[in-house]
């Protein structure tokens, strides 16, 4: 039996009260509930406060470059598809610096769970606007207030026909951990966009602000594969902010197209180097 | 060298130059000749003026020369541009199709279009008529061309094969009946039937990667590197390789780092512009000590530069790419054989030292066809340097991915192996891989990484010497200039000079003392490079404190010919 203790206890570099703690707790709980041992788990992360997360629990980890959590996660999944692969990233990391990888990883659809700590601000560089910052938010850089249209990660993902699209909230750990469980269990790319208050720099989207607005979706007749409905729901933002699974599209994952993986993980394959002789014959 | 003939095919892109050239190159190789073929093309799919050149000899040839014996002109531009390259040669042209302004004895009209229509009822067979004509002018038997055409059109069915053969025969017969004396050059079949390959540089790198057991290749297509990607992709199913076309070069290198970290032998292929995007991930490969093989096929820059031309302009960039100080290894093949063997070596070095390793080629080597001895796969060793499950089970202490060791190389386990957790970080980290900003730790980790460079330096073989070891003039070169330089050595020594070639395939880190020794006897050292600043001599100066006395540099987008080098040596008063 795997327990929370197996995932260890670490000192962190996060601010007291940070939303990241809730996400960390939810991830650990989800992995324990699914019975995943630390050595079966691989987390790739980018750069940002969010991306330090793999250092704060026991698992295999590749904490790489800013915006680049998805390509190494994809590579690792291809090399060893038996691992549970998570990409832990932030709104700046994933939707800004790594926007292109986000688009194309959705298209590629590897069986990876993306957990985006979406605090609508750049925390590590001390408070500049992020791609999801609200219009009008003033910062030391956006001195006249943000006027670039905020990116809506859920609408974007649904428009790309992402395999699993969901939103959680760092202030509701039990809901979030269930969501992460579902996302990990889903085969294909799963997006968990997590509303995460930044207690140091985002004075607008606070715990209080979110708690007054978020609600768990529980609508009867909402078919999870209804893309148009999901898109409509993803546009809901303001006084009421929905949480939960927005869209599920069961489709083959990237690995399903790789016939070579049927016989086991790629890294364990003994390469058929002897066949090079046949190729050489073709040049004679 | 008793036989030394050059055939140049000129025409616009889309006229079938490559098909005609390849079929002729294969035919001549099958006839027992040593063949060297190279292409000059522009960055466009149709039109422009391109050439495909084939040189044949009874001795090994690795370079192009600048004179032409048979010019097969598929457009008027070919005659205008290349007539002056002919000495005693012949221009084969269909004057019914091309308006030939020049009036010279060397122009020989072959009504290729008419023959194709008369014999096969379709003008598309005129290329085969031209091939037959060329074989006729060389007084060779037609059977080898027939064999090649059969193989080339196998998928298109017997009718198409027969039409091509008939067309070739008609072209051949036309020459026999109409060319004064029946043919132009009597180059009897040299009769050498040893097992030779006809292969280009990119195919040889692809073969090397497959022989080394590559498991994952991610790349973004970019001329002139794409050939390696497509070659591996074409054989991926057979060899159990996963090939992924990444969204950009940033993703490509990051993706192979993820795969390599998780245990798959991985490589990426690119050219300078793409590599510019990879520089960030290059540093990541180094600080995370993740093996990576990067095939970098150079073309002239900066920015988009000359996409289809050649240059050795990226060496200093590759040496210094990415922020900070860290070890890397650079190998530079000069022949297809070296493309093959050095690629396999690159994987072993990457795995052993856990560093990024470059195989640096260029457009000239990538696209040129060479005859060479069959690659010997028994010489290829696949060395992974990984901890086995068994070794991990018997370990006494908790696994440290970055364990400090005397050689700087840490034992490597993989994520997913039971009993270990493997953590890598782009931040400076401790032995476990966790972020650590302590100054003492920083020094230890930096020293650990740099130590690998010095250990590797000891292992790097010294340069090869072509010619006498105590010549008074040493030509020096690296990578693709090998063929032309070796030929220059032969020509000059035949003319009574004392010249050798000190030629580098292992570019960085360079073994210092052995290199100094190799050059100690030369009174003059001349470094020949396809760039404008002498990048390799700068490396020699910085890495080994070696001063080169003369430089011959070319950076017009074209490769060196032996004639070019000899003329430059004369101009500089070296000879």
- Is the pLDDT assigned to residue B193 strictly greater than 70? no
In angstroms, rounded to a whole number, what is the distance separating the alpha carbons of residues A157 and A161?
Answer: 6
Question: What pLDDT does B19 receive?
Answer: 93
Question: Which residue does chain A place closest to B30, by CA atoms?
Answer: A284
- Is the pLDDT assigned to residue B191 strictly greater than 80? no
In angstroms, rounded to a whole number, what is the distance separating the alpha carbons of residues A53 and A51?
Answer: 5
**Option in B239, B261, B382 nearest A76 (CB):** B261
Interface contact B378, partner A, CB < 8 A:
no
In angstroms, rounded to a whole number, what is the distance separating the alpha carbons of residues A63 and B426?
Answer: 6
Which of A43, A67, A262, A267 to mutate: most B Cβ within 10 Å?
A267
- Is the pLDDT assigned to residue A110 strictly greater than 80? yes
Q: What is the pTM of this model?
A: 0.97
Q: Which of B189, B84, B77, B75 is nearest to B138 (CA)?
A: B189
Contacts with B415 from chain A: Cβ below 8 Å: 39, 42, 60, 62, 76, 80, 83
In angstroms, rounded to a whole number, what is the distance separating the alpha carbons of residues A166 and A209?
Answer: 20
Question: B357 CB contacts (<8 Å, ≥6 apart)?
Answer: B291, B292, B293, B294, B328, B329, B330, B331, B346, B347, B349, B350
Question: Is the CB of residue B63 less than 8 Å from the CB of residue B36?
Answer: yes
Question: What pLDDT does A73 receive?
Answer: 98
Residue with tokens 């959590």: A69
DSSP per-residue string spanning B272-336: HHHHHHHHHHHHHHHHTT--EEEEEEE---STT--TTS-----HHHHHH-SSS----EEE--SSH
**Option in A71, A74, A267 nearest B414 (CB):** A267
Question: What pLDDT does B501 receive?
Answer: 98
Question: What pLDDT does A218 receive?
Answer: 87
**Which whole number is the average pLDDT over A138-152?**
96
In angstroms, rounded to a whole number, what is the distance separating the alpha carbons of residues A269 and A267?
Answer: 6
pLDDT tens across B16-41, in order? 999 999 999 999 999 999 999 998 88
Is the Cβ pair A283, B256 closer than 8 Å?
A: no
Predicted ipTM of the assembly: 0.98
Question: What pLDDT does B192 receive?
Answer: 64
**Could you give the angle at the alpha carbon of B255 between the alpha carbons of A115 and A34, nearest 5°?**
35
Interface contact B434, partner A, CB < 8 A:
yes
Q: Which of A20, A37, A49 is nearest to A82 (CA)?
A: A37
In angstroms, rounded to a whole number, what is the distance separating the alpha carbons of residues A209 and B250?
Answer: 38
**Which whole number is the average pLDDT over B66-90?**
93
**DSSP β-bridge partners for residue B108:** B92
Sheet architecture: strand order including B524-529 = B464-466, B499-504, B473-478, B524-529, B550-553
Is the Cβ pair B415, A259 closer than 8 Å?
A: no
3-state secondary structure B178-221: HCCCCCCCCCCCCCCCCCEEEEEHHHHHHHHHHHCCCCEEEECC
Residue with tokens 């026909």: A161
DSSP per-residue string spanning B378-390: GG---------HH
Interface subset of B 175-204, CB within 8 angstroms of A = 195-199, 203
In angstroms, rounded to a whole number, what is the distance separating the alpha carbons of residues A196 and B135?
Answer: 75
pLDDT tens across B137-159, in order? 999 999 999 999 999 999 999 99
Under the banding of pLDDT at 50, 70 and 90, the label for residue A271 is: confident
Question: Which residue does chain A place closest to B337, by CA atoms?
Answer: A280
Pseudo-torsion of CA B493, B499, B505, B509, nearest 10°? 170
Nearest-Cα distance to chain A for B262, in Å, is: 5
Helices (H), ranges, B212-248: 226-234, 236-239
Contacts with A257 from chain B: Cβ below 8 Å: none
**Option in A260, A272, A277 nearest B242 (CB):** A260
Pseudo-torsion of CA A191, A196, A202, A204, nearest 10°? 90
Residue with tokens 């800004």: A96
Is the Cβ pair B216, A280 closer than 8 Å?
A: no
Q: Where are the beta strands (DSSP E) in B479-571?
A: 499-504, 506-508, 524-529, 550-553
In angstroms, rounded to a whole number, what is the distance separating the alpha carbons of residues B7 and B90?
Answer: 10
Question: Is the CB of residue B562 less than 8 Å from the CB of residue B488?
Answer: yes
User: Which DSSP letter does residue A20 get?
Assistant: H
């Amino acid at each position: 039996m795997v327990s929370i203790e197996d995932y260890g206890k670490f000192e962190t570099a996060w601010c007291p009260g940070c939303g990241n703690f809730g996400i960390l707790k939810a991830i650990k709980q989800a992995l324990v509930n699914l019975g995943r041992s630390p050595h079966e788990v691989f987390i790739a992360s980018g750069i940002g406060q969010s991306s330090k997360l793999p250092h704060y629990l026991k698992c295999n980890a590749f904490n790489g470059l800013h915006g680049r959590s998805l390509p190494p996660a994809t590579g690792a999944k291809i090399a060893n598809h038996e691992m549970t692969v998570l990409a832990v990233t932030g709104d700046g990391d994933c939707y800004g610096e790594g926007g292109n990888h986000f688009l194309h990883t959705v298209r590629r659809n590897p069986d990876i769970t993306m957990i985006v700590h979406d605090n609508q601000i750049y925390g590590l560089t001390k408070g500049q606007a992020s791609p999801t910052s609200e219009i009008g938010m003033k910062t030391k850089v956006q001195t006249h207030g943000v006027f670039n249209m905020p990116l809506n990660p859920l609408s974007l993902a649904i428009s790309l026909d992402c395999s699993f699209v969901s939103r959680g909230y760092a202030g509701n750990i039990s809901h979030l951990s269930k969501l992460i469980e579902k996302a990990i269990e889903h085969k294909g790319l799963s997006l968990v966009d997590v509303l995460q208050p930044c207690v140091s720099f985002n004075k607008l989207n606070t715990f209080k602000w979110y708690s007054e607005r978020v609600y768990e979706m529980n609508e009867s007749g909402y078919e999870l594969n209804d893309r148009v409905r999901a898109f409509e729901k993803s546009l809901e933002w303001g006084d009421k902010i929905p949480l939960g699974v927005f869209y599920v599209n069961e489709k083959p994952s990237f690995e399903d197209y790789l016939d070579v993986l049927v016989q086991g993980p790629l890294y364990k394959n003994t390469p058929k180097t002897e066949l090079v002789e046949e190729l050489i014959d073709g040049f004679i | 060298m008793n036989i030394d003939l050059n055939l140049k095919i000129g025409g616009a892109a889309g006229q079938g130059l490559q098909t005609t050239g390849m079929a002729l190159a294969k035919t001549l190789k099958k006839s027992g000749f040593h063949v060297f073929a190279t292409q000059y093309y522009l960055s466009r799919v149709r039109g422009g003026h391109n050439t495909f050149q084939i040189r044949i000899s009874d001795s090994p040839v690795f370079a192009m020369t600048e004179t032409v014996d048979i010019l097969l002109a598929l457009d008027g531009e070919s005659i205008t541009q290349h007539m002056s390259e002919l000495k005693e040669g012949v221009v084969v042209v269909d004057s019914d199709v091309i308006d030939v302004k020049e009036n010279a004895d060397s122009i020989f009209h072959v009504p290729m279009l008419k023959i194709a229509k008369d014999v096969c009822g379709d003008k598309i067979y005129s290329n085969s008529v031209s091939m037959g004509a060329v074989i006729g002018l060389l007084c060779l038997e037609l059977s080898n061309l027939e064999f090649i055409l059969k193989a080339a059109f196998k998928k298109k069915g017997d009718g198409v094969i027969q039409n091509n053969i008939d067309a070739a025969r008609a072209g051949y017969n036309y020459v026999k009946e109409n060319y004064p004396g029946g043919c132009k050059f009597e180059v009897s079949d040299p009769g050498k039937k040893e097992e030779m390959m006809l292969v280009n540089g990119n195919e040889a790198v692809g073969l090397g990667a497959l022989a080394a057991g590559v498991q994952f290749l991610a790349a973004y297509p970019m001329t002139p590197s794409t050939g390696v990607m497509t070659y591996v992709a074409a054989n991926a199913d057979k060899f159990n390789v996963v090939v992924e076309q990444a969204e950009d070069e940033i993703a490509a290198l990051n993706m192979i780092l993820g795969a390599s970290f998780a245990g798959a032998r991985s490589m990426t292929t690119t050219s300078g512009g793409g590599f510019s995007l990879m520089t960030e991930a290059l540093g990541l490969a180094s600080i995370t000590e993740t093996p990576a093989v990067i095939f970098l096929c150079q073309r002239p820059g900066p920015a988009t530069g000359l996409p289809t031309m050649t240059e050795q302009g990226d060496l200093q960039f590759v040496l210094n790419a990415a922020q900070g100080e860290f070890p890397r290894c650079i190998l530079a093949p000069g022949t297809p054989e070296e493309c093959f063997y050095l690629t396999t070596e690159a994987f072993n070095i990457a795995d052993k030292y856990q560093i990024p390793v470059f195989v640096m080629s260029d457009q000239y080597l990538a696209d040129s066809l060479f005859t060479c001895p069959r690659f010997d796969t028994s010489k290829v060793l696949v060395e992974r340097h990984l901890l086995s499950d068994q070794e991990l089970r018997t370990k006494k202490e908790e696994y440290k991915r970055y364990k400090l060791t005397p050689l700087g190389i840490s034992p490597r386990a993989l994520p997913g192996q039971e009993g270990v957790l493997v953590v890598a970080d782009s931040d400076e980290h401790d032995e476990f891989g966790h972020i650590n900003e302590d100054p003492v730790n920083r020094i230890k980790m930096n020293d650990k990484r740099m130590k690998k460079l010095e250990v590797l330096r000891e292992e790097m073989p010294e340069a090869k010497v072509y010619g006498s070891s105590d010549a008074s003039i040493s030509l020096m070169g690296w990578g693709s200039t090998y063929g032309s330089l070796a030929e220059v050595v032969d020509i000059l020594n035949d003319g009574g000079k004392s010249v050798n070639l000190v030629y580098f395939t292992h570019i960085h880190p360079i073994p210092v003392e052995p290199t100094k020794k190799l050059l100690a006897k030369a009174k003059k050292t001349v470094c020949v490079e396809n760039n404008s600043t002498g990048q390799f001599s700068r490396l020699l100066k910085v890495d080994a404190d070696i001063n080169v006395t003369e430089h011959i540099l070319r950076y017009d987008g074209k490769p060196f010919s032996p004639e070019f080098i000899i003329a430059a040596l004369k101009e500089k008063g070296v000879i």
